[in-house]
Amino acid sequence: EVQLVESGGGLVQTGGSLRLSCAASGFRFSDYWMSWVRQAPGKGLEWVGNIKEDGSEKYYVDSVKGRFSFSRDNAKNSLYLQMNSLKAGDTAVYYCARAYDDGLGAFDIWGRGTVVTVSS
C-alpha cells in the first residue's frame, strides 16, 4: 500500500524548534519530489515547499524562508522538515505529499498530517 506517515508534531514555545518526519512506503521514494503542505486551524491549505528527488533543489514559500529547512534520506525513505524560530502563525496541521513528473504532477498521495502548536 502506498503510504505517507508524518510524525514529530507537538507543542512548542514561540521561538523554538521542531523537526517533523514523513515516512514513505509502498513506492520508490527516490523517484518523487516531496512537498510539505500545512493547514492552520479552520483555514485553507498552504504549500510550504518542496524538495527534489535527490535533494539537490528545494523551494520554500516566502513566509518560512530562512526558518524552515527540508531534507530527505532516500535510503530510509524519509522526508524531514526542520522548523526553527517558530511563530504562532506556524500553528497548523503539517502534511507531506508526493509529486511526480518533475514536480508538476502534484499531489496524488498525502499523509494524515501531524499537528504543530506554537504557543507563548
Partner 1 sequence: VLTQSPLSLPVTPGQTASISCRSSESLVHKDGNTYLNWFHQRPGQSPRRLIYKVSARDSGVPDRFSGSGSGTDFTLTITRVEAEDIGVYYCMHGTHWNVYSFGQGTKLEIK
> Which residues of the shown chain bind partner 1 in the complex (CB under 8 A)?
35, 37, 44-47, 50, 57, 59, 95, 99, 103-108, 110-113
For partner 1, which is the closer residue by CB, 2 or 15? Answer: 2
Shortest distance in whole angstroms from residue 17 CB to partner 1: 25
Shortest distance in whole angstroms from residue 66 CB to partner 1: 17
Burial 43-79 (b: 16+ CB within 10 A, else e): eeeeebbbbbbeeeeeebeeebeeebbbebebeebbb
Shortest distance in whole angstroms from residue 107 CB to partner 1: 6
For partner 1, which is the closer residue by CB, 16 or 89? Answer: 89
C-alpha cell at 54: 535527490
Secondary structure of residue 25 in the 3-state scheme: strand
